[in-house]
Structure 1
């Protein structure tokens, strides 16, 4: 019999397992052996004392108490992003004698020359008292926080814990914990890191790896490599990007780090070129941005020129680069400005290949360009394989004498997919030399940095009402493929299936077609059907209206489209159509864009991109535009009615596979053409010959089988819904939670298939939903126990509530059902009422409103004359109940009603929980110090329950 031992969290486990305390102690001992100083810090007072000593040591001086107070005041300003800037800047301290002193918080040039300490169990007092696991201090500032869970527990809960600490106590006192740059989470077996970014999801946490992309997951090995002192401070000083657009921190992933290091090594130690093969969707722009940023600081580099091959330089990319080097991005076609930047002290320049080409070629720039020929200029190409790159590449190599050239691509040109131009057949290797680092799509899917693709092939030549998934016959005549009847069949398919594909429009879609002419047919049919009331999808579109701009269809490369029509012959019919479609957009969003003004058209392009990212457009209809280089995580479905292959196919498909939360489990590709062989060929070329199963989701039947197997596991624990109530121990409940969660995960994938219906699986929809209600009951129980500070093994479970929430179930939807209930025959009342109650029980966001809606059904619905009056009466009822509940809370807890309402308004505006003192201020009679914590927490919980019930999702 194995002894049971209590670990630091109070859980019991087999003595053979390593406890969290053991894990913590082992990590500290290892870091000490790696040169960290072990220091005991119990609270903020000792943290500040230590900070003073460490800053004195680092800056080789001493500070008076008055001077140190100024330093702390300087540090205690701004949010996480602003503090990250403070960390990297020097502080001009006015000393007691009036002299200036430039104080450094971290040495970024000699990054190993900093002071490293490790401590554990620092206690901070915020809204809650929190004790943190292991803290790494650099020059006395807590820059890395490590949160541990004992082996066997879920890593995601360590992530959730850092989120709770951020909400509850990181900002307390002098806010020094808001200087955290990196988090590390581990359960010993799995270890991940991520930047301090409030918007971060668990899917944006990373394993470290070696140069060959082999993951380093064990804590001991991770500490040996990633937490090695010099490497850690290098990551903080060199490889965290301060994202100006979103005001967040971003940490480079391991493959991005190795790519940048490889480029820097080439520049420092050779005269050679090279290219980086990182799969589409892996963040090439961030990698190239960081490479450019670091290279500008090398003394031997005169200029870094970052080249993009599209005149419509992405707005966000431009903003990022301009934030680093003001004025480096000029979005106009002004080549004169580029030539001026090349000649002045601007070290980082962002331009287009077209402008660079003009600067080299035109006689009028010759005198200004001549002195640059012998400068050491680094050219970085965002996408190094564009078709027009052949001429520019040749001109650069012939014009400059001391250049180096580095390219980034997700889809290199190999012998198999090389196209011939006037320079002959040339591969990426021919143009750039050796591949400096490789990270292919199979690596990215394994690391969960991108998602798999679920590809369905739809036969549009069957009768419209029997459209189903099969391998499409090879019918490809222009007349048949572009016939309005076929296009209408595709539109009907999309209307019928879009909600299923996008999880009730929680995500968005894109439809790419073969030509502008076909696009206009599609758009017009969508609009006709919208006016006829057949759908309410918001469809947006944009395309180039240049004359004779044909999509080459089967070509490898997707033809570049641009909003810049300067000097181009216009197809007036296409332009008139687009003007009309932009008119629809203006009516939808209250804007005034037009094609008649080039600046207005460019602004339309940028705003449309933003609205797609913000999920304000349901389907974006394009020919080529947005199929390359456009990142929108909420985009999960691509409808394809054009021929694609190799590079173009992977680029287009990859619009859908950005990670975003638990519910986005794959990128959906719906092909209305026979692209099966082209898909297989592209996957083989850009990963490896056996990668198909890694990249493409399994067939529908496999997920049915997985669902039924998961269901068997669930039924072994709880044979029926009622048996969940009889589970004897927390271990049994834990097993049930994990089993139902696995069932949900498979269901989440299964439900996106067009074929899915509950008849195919071994459970009825009602029983599946009922199990979901029991799952949510356990969630409520855990939440209640947490509030009572009861230690529970279930605290370390992530319930993944987003998987059980159904967006279509809201108050508006329930009101519609209540109206139908009122008008239904009496014999149907009970069944309909049960259906409504079951829906409320089975949805995480509606459960809080269940009791209220039930009360309305019993007390108010009988008085309503017909279903049409239900909404007005319900809103009146809601208002009455809202007012009564807030009064009840105030009377029960003896609170000032006006102060409570102000506190709630402040919370809704700032989204920050009020501090304990703020809650106490609402009390007419202040509790004693001993009772203050308990009473204020009880009051806060009541306020939050009130918000959840009456404000979140209230009827409009």
Structure 2
């Protein structure tokens, strides 16, 4: 998937490259492409350097003007004894190698700088946020919301390492691993039902505040399927057997030998690509995807704003995953990582490892967003001091409509009221979107709806020259008033 994504991006820019990029379709095709005496832009995976008969791979090209750019250079580049890295260097003995990765590794047994040399350029998460290339990532721990007994709560070993696909497939080995014991506890029916209920409530409240999409990350295919079943039990309208319909899908690989309940979720590459297009389309009704490993790297959907993590992750794997929600999109103020398993410490360590400068602005606790929201709420509320807008919240549709013109007049009568309101409500809306479904956000949601309605009306009826209407007119997302008590923010076992 990543190879195809890179090839597609470069193919668009072939006029600048002055030659047409080519993609190796097989090992034989790769060898043919490398036989040219000069030039050539070739895309391939490292697996295509495997020898046909299992022995050493003979040199495929002696050229000295070959430059190999390895994307995701933190993977598959360290085994020089009998691994893929050895094969590639045997095939291209005189080539120069450049590594490109957002998560370099510097360990005793694996070191990206040791393989590729000193860093040529470093552009970390903090710099990307400062430049506006990505948005900030906020963190919300929901573990405490699952009212489970201490004996029922899963605990992650600090030395716990994620297993590979093949290890999960091996039943005998799986039963012996720490992973299996943790998976059994994480995947209990009671806990899955609790997580499903919390995700549904949380995500629906997120969508009321900010349109977009979410991803749920589970630690096994079994849990992916069971969680899907629990969610559609709560929201039957989200389900549809047709890949082109429905609001939620499971993305995973499998085979005919897998359990019967896995089969509806096992799709070929073509079908997965169709669902991927739906997920990337902001206007498509598909809103949630459940994954285990797939789409955690190389999947870019800017409208994705929430990631629910129910899987042990650490280091570069964790950083790769959470980067799915930090893409810039319209008025999206930030991405939110919701933690059901207690990965906060691992997240802090990962941010420390992969952010060269200050880490304070990257993985921000949701409480800080709530504090900013309340501060901005006070600013906007002060502008409506003495103005009664209660009918907008409790009145009939006709009464609600009559409140807006009066509110506009109230604001426009103030010194620089228009500009101040437009700016203040924009800042409040962004902080509010990041804070939902915190109780403090739910408490003021109707007020925020009113402020947004007034802002929208002023922006439409008093255009500012030189600025597009789309930029000024925030979508007014009226949140239906519900009597939400503090107890409803907790999940009862």
**Does TM-score exceed 0.5, indicating one fold?**
yes
Q: How does 1:691-702 map to 2 (within 5 A)?
A: 691=359, 693-700=360-367, 702=368
The answer as to 2:269 corresponding to 1:605 is no
Partner in structure 2 of residue 707 of structure 1 = 373
Match of 1:765 among 435, 442, 446: 446
Residue in 1 aligned with 2:247? 538
Match of 2:434 among 744, 749, 758: 749
Deviations 1:753-791 (A, max 9, x none): 3434453x5xx825x4444443334223324xxxxxxxx
Task: Indicate how the Cα distance of structure 1 residues 804 and 709 shifts in structure 2: closer, same or farther if over 3 A, else same.
Answer: same
- The structure 1 residue matched to 2:122, chosen from 412, 428, 438, is 438
Tell me, yes or no, if the aligned pair for 2:449 and 2:477 is still in contact at 8 Å: no
Residue 572 of structure 1 is aligned with which of 245, 257, 261?
Answer: 257
Query: Structure 1, unaligned stretches of length 5 or more?
Result: 1-311, 419-424, 546-569, 583-594, 596-600, 784-793, 810-956
Partner Cα separation in structure 2 for residue 723 and residue 441 of structure 1: 42
SS in 1 for 2:418: helix
Pick closer, same or farther for the CA change 1:535–1:360 going to 2, 3 Å.
closer
Partners in 1 of 2:200 and 2:382 — Cα distance? Answer: 40
Tell me if structure 2 keeps the 8 A contact 1:360–1:399: no
Residue 357 (structure 2) pairs with residue 658 (structure 1): no
- Specify whether residues 430 and 571 from structure 1 end up closer, same or farther in structure 2 by C-alpha distance, changes over 3 A only: farther
User: Which of 470, 477, 491 is the equivalent residue of 1:806?
Assistant: 477
- CA contact 1:509–1:619 (8 Å) conserved in 2: yes
Asked if structure 2 preserves the Cα contact closer than 8 Å seen for 1:495 and 1:535, the reply is no
- Give the CA deviation at 1:580: 1.9
RMSD: 3.3
Task: Report the CA distance between 1:797 and its aligned residue.
Answer: 6.4
Mapped contact 2:215–2:290 kept (Cα < 8 A):
yes
The offset of 1:351, in angstroms, is 0.7
Check the 8 A contact 1:385/1:428 in 2, yes or no: yes
Aligned equivalents of 2:421, 2:264: Cα separation in 1: 56
Matched, 1:489 2:174: no
2:22 corresponding residue in structure 1? 328
Q: CA deviation at 1:628?
A: 0.9
- Alignment of 1:378 with 2:67, yes or no, is yes
Please say if residues 366 and 434 of structure 2, whose CA atoms lie closer than 8 Å, have aligned partners that are also in contact. Answer: no
Cα displacement (A) at 1:314: 4.9
Aligned partners of 1:393, 1:712: CA distance in 2, in Å? 58
Q: CA deviation at 1:389?
A: 4.7
SS in 2 for 1:379: strand
Count of aligned pairs between the two proteins:
417
Asked if 1 retains the 8 angstrom alpha-carbon contact of 2:373 and 2:428, the reply is: yes
1:465-507, Cα deviation, whole Å (9 max, x unpaired)? xx9xxxx966354432111111111111111111222446721
Partner of 1:454: 138
Q: Give the Cα–Cα distance (whole angstroms) in 2 for the partners of residues 360 and 686 of structure 1.
A: 40
Please give the secondary structure, in 2, of the residue aligned with 1:517.
Answer: helix
Kindly state the Cα deviation for residue 668 of structure 1 after the two structures are TM-superposed: 1.2
2:298 to 607, 629, 632: 629
Alpha carbons of structure 1 residues 337 and 640: separation in structure 2 relative to 1, 3 Å: same
> Post-superposition shift, 1:326?
4.4
- CA deviation digits over 1:670-695, x for unaligned, max 9? 1110111111111111114851x211
Distance 1:581 1:756 in 2: 38
* Kept after mapping to 2: 8 A contact 1:539/1:619: yes
CA contact (8 A) 1:497 1:754 kept: no
What pairs up with 1:36-435 in 2 under 5 angstroms?
Answer: 312-322=1-11, 324=14, 325-326=19-20, 328-330=22-24, 332=25, 334-344=26-36, 347-358=40-51, 366=58, 369=59, 372-387=61-76, 389-390=78-79, 391-415=83-107, 425-435=109-119
CA shift in 2, pair 1:538/1:714, >3 Å: closer
Higher normalized contact order (CA 8 Å, seq sep 6+, divided by chain length): 2
Deviation, structure 1 residue 359 = 7.2
CA distance 1:672–1:797, change in 2 (3 Å): same
Change (3 A) 1:580 1:396: closer
Indicate yes or no: 2:289 matched with 1:620.
Answer: yes
Aligned 8 A contact 1:509 1:638 in 2: yes
The alignment partner of 2:44 has SS state of strand
Alpha-carbon distance in structure 2 between the residues aligned to 1:360 and 1:427: 30
How big is each residue's C-alpha offset from its partner over 1:217-266, in whole Å with a ceiling of 9 and x where there is no partner? xxxxxxxxxxxxxxxxxxxxxxxxxxxxxxxxxxxxxxxxxxxxxxxxxx
Query: What are the equivalent positions in structure 2 for 1:515-530 lying under 5 Å apart?
Result: 515-530=220-235
Structure 2 vs 1, CA of residues 320 and 733 (structure 1 numbering), >3 Å: closer, same or farther? closer
When structure 1 is superposed on structure 2, of 720-729 and 445-454 the one drifting more is 720-729
1:665 touches 1:748 (CA, 8 Å); kept in 2? yes
Distance 1:381 1:358 in 2: 19
1:100-154 deviations in Å (ceiling 9; x for gaps): xxxxxxxxxxxxxxxxxxxxxxxxxxxxxxxxxxxxxxxxxxxxxxxxxxxxxxx
Alignment partners' CA distance in 1, 2:364 and 2:357: 16
For the residues of structure 1 that align with 2:234 and 2:96, how far apart are their CA atoms? 55
Compared CA separation, residues 511 and 736, structure 1 to 2 (3 A): closer
Deviations 1:569-621 (A, max 9, x none): x57125x5443235xxxxxxxxxxxx5xxxxx121222222111114322111
Aligned-partner Cα distance in 1 for 2:209–2:430: 17
Do structure 1's residue 681 and structure 2's residue 349 form an aligned pair? yes
Give the 3 Å change call, closer, same or farther, for CA 656–748 of structure 1 in structure 2: same
Is 2:347 the partner of 1:672?
no
Whether contact under 8 Å (1:714, 1:740) holds in the other structure is yes
Counterparts in 2 of 1:821-900, with a 5 A limit? none
CA offsets per residue over residues 385-426 of structure 1, 9 Å max, x none?
A: 2146522333444454421000101010113xx5xxxxxx13
Residue aligned with 1:776, SS: helix
> How far is the alpha carbon of 1:434 from its aligned partner?
0.7
Deviation at 1:733, TM superposition (A): 2.9
**Please, which runs of 5 or more residues in structure 2 have no aligned partner?**
157-181, 241-245, 388-405, 481-493
> Does structure 2 retain, via aligned residues, the 8 Å contact 1:632–1:655?
yes
Counterpart for residue 185 of structure 2: 480
In the aligned structure 1, how far is the partner of 2:3 from the partner of 2:34? 22
Q: Does 1:498 align with 2:203?
A: yes
TM-score normalized by the length of structure 2? 0.74
Q: 1:795 aligns with which of 465, 481, 486?
A: 465
Assess if the C-alpha contact under 8 Å between 1:328 and 1:346 holds in 2. no
Write the distance in 2 (CA, Å) between the matches of 1:529 and 1:735. Answer: 43
Equivalent position SS for 1:638: strand
Contact 1:459 1:473 in 2 (8 A): no
